[in-house]
A = this chain, B = another copy of it.
Amino acid sequence: MRRLFHYPLCAFSRIVRFIISEKHLDCELIYQVPWEPFEELFEYNLLGSIPLLADISGIFIHGNSAIREYLEETYPEISLINGDFQQRAEARRIADWFAFTFYWDVYLPIVDEKIFKRFSKAVNKSPEPGKVRSAGTKLSTHMEYIAWLADRRNWLAGKEFSIADIYAASFISVLDYLGIITWNKYEIAKGWYAKVKSRPGFRGILGDNLPQVPPSAEYSNPDF
């Protein structure tokens, strides 16, 4: 059986879950908090970090673009990096944008404050409300960028649903789970996210519910 070591509120874990689900692949999800790496994970990938995919062939894949490209190469029947060269590059460009710029500008400061500082023993615990405020300001710019794309295209990278939507939705959905996103400020981005929410492949993610960190009121609601 395929297995994914993941943490529900880790955007990179969500990306893999979303891809796997869109490709109709079975997968056993193994809950793993990111701040307490399993020794088992250390052995597999030296770094002990999640997500880690153990595929049915017995191989272990670790790393953001490594897992994504592996799944696309191995299971191309339902393609999530689709279209011509320009289209595929556009999907990857937007994926990079979220994995890199959005991650550091917005996602990490918020998740660090709301999750890591609360549960992890390893990180510095002093609250930094300024960091969350500054991340919130940057969030607006990114939501406007999503709106700019969604206003001109069917999905973020073009006509077809792709990893661009998967990356964006995986990051945004963690922040939405935490109640960070004021959707009525972002009508166009909200329209795009409503479409993502209605995809069967996203259902598992919308079903997440951690006892210690319950989701925001509208998190799983299709009419939010």
Residues of chain A whose beta carbon lies under 8 Å from any beta carbon of chain B:
45-47, 57, 59, 61-67, 69-70, 73-74, 85-86, 88-90, 92-97, 99-100, 104, 145, 148
Contact = CB atoms under 8 A, between A and B. Distances in A.
Given A65-B65, A104-B104, A73 B96 contact: no
A90 B62 CA distance: 8
Interface centre among A69, A89, A90, A148 (most CB of B within 10 A): A89
Number of this chain's copies in the assembly equals: 2
Given A69-B89, A70-B89, 5 more contacts: A61-B86, A61-B89, A63-B93, A63-B97, A66-B95
B59 A88 contact: no
A66 B100 CA distance: 13
B104 A64 contact: no
A85 B73 contact: yes
Contacts of A95: 63, 65-66
